[in-house]
Structure 1
Amino acid sequence: MAFETLKKDLVDVDADMRSYLETSEEYYKLKLFKVLMASVTTLAQSLIIGAVLFLALSMISLGISLALNEAMESFYSGFLIVGAFYIVVALIFYFFRRVLQRPLLQKFSKHYFDRP
């Protein structure tokens, strides 16, 4: 009789462990899905906003270049000045890339390690 009770308890423990493992596996799948979808939607939004801003910046740059060309009465000067400005901005971003890296890491870490 004691062996029957022990056997039943062991079978129940085995069933509970299997149920726990299956539930845990489903939880981690859902968690991974949540993290991936948050990343994909953030990336898609960033790409769309970035593309629109790129087009706007291109038009503004073209307008500034043409205005500088007229003001300086030279066809190439405005384009050279605007190009040099973008090179300076790129160099500033290059030298401060570590400062830009920290907020990005914190933002994505919050998405990844966020516990429900």
Structure 2
Amino acid sequence: MAFEELKESTRKVQEETKAYVESTVQYYKLWGFQFIMKSTRTIVKLILVGFFLLITFLFGSIAAALAIGDALHSPALGFLIIAGGYFILVLLILFLRLKFIERYILRTFSKLFFKD
């Protein structure tokens, strides 16, 4: 009789262990799916916003260059001034390394990854 109880207890432990492993696997599958979907959504959103910002800056830069060119009576000079402004902006970004941008990106992705 004790052997039957031990056998039954062992079978229950095996079933519960199997159920635990299966539920753990399901949990991590769902967690992975959630993480991938949030990451994908964020990346697609950033790409779309970035694209439209790029188009906005492009047309704004062209308009500014044409306006400066009209004021100076030289369209080429207007485009050179705008290009010089962007060059100075790139140099500032390279030399200052804008740590706050790195911190913002790190915080954003940390919240996304470690939310649960």
Q: TM-score range by the shorter chain?
A: over 0.9
Gaps of at least 5 residues in structure 1 are none
For residue 12 of structure 2, what is the aligned residue in structure 1?
A: 12
For residue 67 of structure 2, what is the aligned residue in structure 1?
A: 67
1:93 positional shift = 2.5
Once the two structures are superposed, residues 16-73 of structure 1 have per-residue CA deviations (whole angstroms, 9 ceiling, x without a partner) of 0111011001100100110110010111111111111111111110010011111111
Q: Deviating runs (4+, > 3 A) in structure 1?
A: none
Which residue identity does 1:46 align to in structure 2? L
Once the two structures are superposed, residues 89-114 of structure 1 have per-residue CA deviations (whole angstroms, 9 ceiling, x without a partner) of 22222332433111111111111111
Q: Percent identity?
A: 31
In 2, distance between residues paired with 1:57 and 1:9?
Answer: 71
Query: How many residues end up aligned between the 2 structures?
Result: 115
Match of 1:64, SS state, is helix
For residue 113 of structure 1, what is the aligned residue in structure 2?
A: 114
For residue 45 of structure 1, what is the aligned residue in structure 2?
A: 45
1:84 positional shift = 1.1
1:74 positional shift = 1.6
In 2, distance between residues paired with 1:104 and 1:110?
Answer: 10
Which residue identity does 1:109 align to in structure 2? S
In 1, distance between residues paired with 2:57 and 2:68?
Answer: 16
Match of 2:75, SS state, is coil
Query: What's the C-alpha RMSD, in Å, of the aligned pairs?
Result: 1.2
For residue 56 of structure 2, what is the aligned residue in structure 1?
A: 56
In 1, distance between residues paired with 2:103 and 2:9?
Answer: 52
Gaps of at least 5 residues in structure 2 are none
